[in-house]
Amino acid sequence: MYSIVSTAIVRGIESIPIRVEADVTDGMPVFEMVGFLSAEVREARERVRTALKNSGFRLPPSHITVNLSPADLRKQGNYFDLPIALSVLAAAGFVRMDELKNKIFIGELGLDGHVNTVSGVLSIVHSAYSEGVRSCIVPAGNSREAAIIRGMTVIPVTSIGELVDHLSGIQTIEPEYVDV
């Protein structure tokens, strides 16, 4: 099955949208990532695989391909772990794809599935809001920063398991709000 998750990277003070596509099919078990990736982004493959396993998600032995698009833009930073994990989980049937639409996802994963803070969240969320996105999922440690953007629903997450439960309707995560 195929899925798409939206995220972004920061270049200077600008944010550039990135599509994370995943395809999970029968075949030789392998986890491939493509899309002009820096070393830290290539390392996301092992962080994601281990975080999913340690969070209780058992992926069937499958051929997993993840593409970060556009392919001509070098992907750097630690923004991609959470969107990659969600894209793989959606393609494997753990998350409904309609829950991923019109949202932007940002976050680095620890090996235990914890969502770690990242830099540049305000720029990414502001840019996403300017492009019509009205919901973002960010590390709990970045949620107050993201909530500065009025009109953006900011969902703070601490773990991949918590987020999947939220997206599945099992557990509600209250949005973050700040008075500006």
* Predicted local distance difference test score (pLDDT) of residue 42: 85
CB 27 within 8 A of CB 112: no
Tally: H helices and E strands in the chain: 6, 9
CB 4 within 8 A of CB 20: yes
H-run or E-run covering 119: none
CB 108 within 8 A of CB 48: no
Report the predicted TM-score, pTM, of the whole model to 2 decimal places: 0.95
Where residue 180 falls among pLDDT bands split at 50, 70, 90? low
Give one word for 77, left, alpha or beta, with left for phi > 0 and alpha for psi -120 to 50.
left
pLDDT at 5 over 90: yes
CB 80 within 8 A of CB 46: no
* Predicted local distance difference test score (pLDDT) of residue 51: 96
The angle at the Cα of 9, spanning 6 to 13, to the nearest 5 degrees, equals 130
